[in-house]
Structure 1
Amino acid sequence: MDSPFEILGIESDADDDEVVRAYRKRVKEAHPDQGGSTREFLLVQTAYEKIQDGHADEPLEIERADRANDDTASRNGHDPAHEATNGAGGADDADHEDEDDEQEEGYRVEYLNYETLADHGWDLGDDDLFEKAADANLDPEDYGQLSFTSDKNLLAAAEKCGYPWPYACRGGACANCAIAVVEGEVEMPSNHILSQEMVDRGLRLSCISVPKTDELKIIYNVKSLPGLEELRLPAQQFDKARSND
């Protein structure tokens, strides 16, 4: 049975920076779209979480990693095995869901594509940003609302409605899927990437964040903000990721 450090390929005395670098490297290698497997991907995630939680002395087995991540998936309202291997397939999945379920209201998320701001001379800090977006006749991909009933993560909720928001690893190991929360609250169960200053600014990772308030206003596709570029992964390594990530 390998230890968490062995799974990440580092020595047990590795410092925090070495652990983070090793995790980001291993999670890329283990991703199903990169020739790895879902089980290996989950094992790498669990190993990193064990180290971060101070339980690195506990050996890991694949079965234990599966159970741990199944528990996390249940809390987050998504299936990491399905999402990791199927990428941004939410639009296809939505075709198989009952139309009545899709129309039910629960969480309501008003979203705006960060890339539209420069085109209209808007600023991220504008108090009336969403009011201006509502009056600008933007394409539904760039501005609109999502409604869903379960605790899906925000990326999965957008995909369920057919919107291909940016992502790469789907495991909270990069900033490709970063969003800015303008109004409302979301829960991000773990954070291995964003600095506290970024979190304080309202930045979150959509692939692991779930709503905590009934209504949210978020700006997605903010991966080009200062400080986030070096936290991104090359999207071309993941066949399902958007080509402009």
Structure 2
Amino acid sequence: MKPLVAGNWKMNGVAASVAELDAMIAGHDAASRAVVDLAICPPAVLIAAFAPRSGPIAIGGQDCHAKVSGAHTGDIAAEQLKDAGATMVIVGHSERRTDHGETDEIVRAKAEAAQRAGLVAIVCVGETEAERKSGRALYVVGTQVDGSMPASATAESLVVAYEPVWAIGTGLVPTAADVAEVHGFIRAKLVALYGPVGESVRILYGGSVKPSNAKELLSVKNVNGALVGGASLKATDFLAIAAAYR
């Protein structure tokens, strides 16, 4: 399957940041497009400005509400993201789970809303440092997969991102063996949930991915790309990570 390298800009970026997007587009040449898909998920206020000029780079949202519309001040429906030009959306990121108390049930409803709107759902799962140290990493990730995935999926409508919470923005990175174990476990879970479709769903690794470690991490079995945080804010770093596939 063709890998995906997606950038999560989180609460970073202003209108002038389009210059970084333009640099990414310029660097994502025909040779690069042939081997890897790229996406950027900027703050929602930038989606409508970024989408028309993004060309070969997909634009996504960072969250969506489960409902189509209603009295939900500050929230954004999946259909509104689609209308603004997004083609995918991240749901269940650990920062949403922690900062906003999102449960697996909520994440699943958001993933199904994304599919309803015609967006690719990037569903995030991952354990905390305490959970890993206590030997519960696979249990926690397995519970999240079972509870957060949409009822049905295709290889085109679903992406799973494994992001160990303790590695996000910390500079700490699990070993290649640790990543292989969790990604293999997630693959087996997806096959159990979706049958043969589960073999073709892309599983991304996220957590302190940078140019210096991208080649090692992205070559691990069942790692089908990366969800990149801080390193996706600069075109040079983001393109260097994607270049691991060239």
* Structure-1-length-normalised TM-score: 0.29
* Structure-2-length-normalised TM-score: 0.29
Which structure has more helix as a fraction of its residues? 2
